[in-house]
């Protein structure tokens, strides 16, 4: 506002002095200065609007960038570990408030170290992105996917019991195994092992993750490319 007023005052003073020195009478000076002042006001208004839009665009871009760094994994574009755990806490609170079921799954890429060793880390990064995309595309919009660490992903399935979760994740497993990744003239066949756990009403989230992890280890031990459920009712239940 100060800059705007100073700009207008400067135009008034300078234009009045110039017109007076050129021999214009007071009436002509008043009309000309009024026109210049109006033009300056319109220009300043439009300039301020443009600058405001640019500032808002810059601020929104910075907020989006900060949000992305805070909540999303840079490589795979799914939630990072902390954001995924926070979403799990939210879903547990919702389940306790409204009732219903809530299941989680730990997904691990089979033989990922061998892929990295054979093809290099850049190809390993492509595999991670490919798997993350297949997980998201195979699940519902309201299901939550986060990169838990390395080649491991945490999936949260609201309003889903362990059996329904098993069927949903079988679709994930199948889609990944049926879609090899093209690397030049070669195709990399990828598979995942999955451990599923339905969260109990009073269970701490880390305990549920631990149970899903144990089911995942069992899937690895039994041959990989399979799903195991950490069921409290059925010991060592497999989806296959």
Residues forming the active site: 151
Look up residue 36 and give its two tokens.
């210049």
E strand segments, 76-151:
102-109, 144-149
Query: Hey, which bits of 111-151 come out as E strands?
Result: 144-149
Extract the runs of DSSP E, i.e. beta strands, from the chain.
102-109, 144-149, 152-158, 181-183, 186-188, 192-198, 227-229, 237-238
- Which residues lie closer than 8 Å to 189 by C-beta, 6 or more apart? 177, 180
Q: What is the distance of C-alpha 124 from the center of its chain?
A: 21
CB within 8 Å of 11: residues ≥ 6 apart: 33, 36, 37, 40
Kindly give the pairing relationship between strand 227-229 and strand 192-198.
Answer: parallel
């Amino acid at each position: 506002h100060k800059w705007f007023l100073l700009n207008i005052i400067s135009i008034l003073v300078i234009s009045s002095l110039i017109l007076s020195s050129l021999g214009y009478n007071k009436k002509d000076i008043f009309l000309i200065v009024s026109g210049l002042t109006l033009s300056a006001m319109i220009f300043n208004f439009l300039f301020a609007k443009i600058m405001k839009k640019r500032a808002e665009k810059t601020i929104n871009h910075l907020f989006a960038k900060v949000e992305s760094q805070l909540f999303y994994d840079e490589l795979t574009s799914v939630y990072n570990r902390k954001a995924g755990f926070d979403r799990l806490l939210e879903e547990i609170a919702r389940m306790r408030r409204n009732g219903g079921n809530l299941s989680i799954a730990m997904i691990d890429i089979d033989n990922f170290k061998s892929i990295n060793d054979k093809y290099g880390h850049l190809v390993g990064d492509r595999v991670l992105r490919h798997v993350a995309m297949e997980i998201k595309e195979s699940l519902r919009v309201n299901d939550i996917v986060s990169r838990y660490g390395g080649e491991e992903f945490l999936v949260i399935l609201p309003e889903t019991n362990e059996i329904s979760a098993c069927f949903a994740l079988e679709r994930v497993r199948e889609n990944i195994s049926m879609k090899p990744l093209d690397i030049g003239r070669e195709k990399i066949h990828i598979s995942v092992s999955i451990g599923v756990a339905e969260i109990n009403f009073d269970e701490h989230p880390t305990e549920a993750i631990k149970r899903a992890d144990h089911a995942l280890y069992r899937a690895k031990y039994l041959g990989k490319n399979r799903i195991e459920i950490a069921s409290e009712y059925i010991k060592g239940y497999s989806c296959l």
